[in-house]
Structure 1
Amino acid sequence: MITVKELMSNELYTLKSTNTIHQARELMLKKRVRHVPIVDKKGEFVGLLTKHDVLGASVSALADINDQERNELESNIPISGIMMTKVVFAEEDTSLLEAARFMLKQKQGCLPIFRGSKLVGILTEADFVKLALQLMEESTKYEEINNESSN
């Protein structure tokens, strides 16, 4: 059985609930992530912030203000007001198939992954795309080898 531990991203970029929307947007852009676990002072998981949450709370680009003014406004809005605190998660030994079915059924873009009470990774849609790409590349190589050996 393949588990989520084998596919999850274990390089986590986290924020605290006191960080701001501006800081969240900067982190997401810099690290190219769409899901950020929120931790407390002890590093324990307390919630999740998604790109969708940030976009929904951000000052619209259509507003009649410049980027500097928008950044200043968003630097005063803590993410504690927009982060999700009721988050479904999985244990690292959860079946990858079970996690994939759950994410698809619930239309959930990620699953925080725990070992006991410790956050150890995050499983995202992007991880599944990488897996699909790897499997397709392996399938293509297999087909090429079979075609060469039958000639």
Structure 2
Amino acid sequence: MLTVGDLMTTQLFTLLSSDSLYTARQIMEMARVRHVPIVDGEDNFIGLITHRDMLAVAVSELSDIDPSTQDELDAGIPLSEIMRTDTATVNPETLLRDAAQTLLEHKYGCLPVLKGRRLVGIITEADFLRLTISLMDALEERSAG
């Protein structure tokens, strides 16, 4: 059986709870990710910031605030004030089917992967889509051959 450890991403972008919303926004844009785990100094998982969370606290574009003012506002908001701390997590031995079921049932975009309290990876909807494409390609090759 495939496990989360077989599919998870281990090259992670993480932040500290003292980092700002501005920093999180920059990392998400630069790395093209929608979820950034928040860790302490020893890589212990303490929370998660998502693109959706950032949209919820952003000043509306309709308010006529220019981007530099928005950046200044974001720089003054520590992630500790807006990060999610009630995040569901899995471990590397969790069956992939169980992780997929959790994502689907709860409409989560990702699950941080922990060994104890230590963050060792993340599994996202995109990881499952890549797996699905690979499986479809393999089935197509099998039926063509």
TM-score normalized by the length of structure 2: 0.94
Separation in 2, partners of 1:136, 1:81: 42
Q: CA deviation at 1:88?
A: 1.3
After superposing on structure 2, the runs of 4+ consecutive aligned residues of structure 1 that deviate more than 3 Å are: none
Separation in 1, partners of 2:2, 2:55: 34
| Equivalence for 1:31 | 31
Q: Cα deviation per residue 1:65-94 (whole Å; 9 max; x = unaligned)?
A: 211111111111111111011121111101
| Greater C-alpha radius of gyration | 1
Question: CA RMSD, aligned part only?
Answer: 1.1
1:62 is the counterpart of 2:62: yes
| Equivalence for 2:93 | 93
Counting aligned pairs with the same residue, the percent is: 43
Q: Any gaps of 5 or more consecutive residues in structure 2?
A: none
Conserved in 2, the CA contact under 8 Å of 1:14 and 1:39?
A: yes
Q: Any gaps of 5 or more consecutive residues in structure 1?
A: 146-151
| Equivalence for 1:135 | 135
Separation in 1, partners of 2:81, 2:7: 31
Q: CA deviation at 1:42?
A: 2.6
SS in 2 for 1:131: helix
Amino acid of the structure 1 residue aligned with 2:82: I
TM-score normalized by the length of structure 1: 0.91
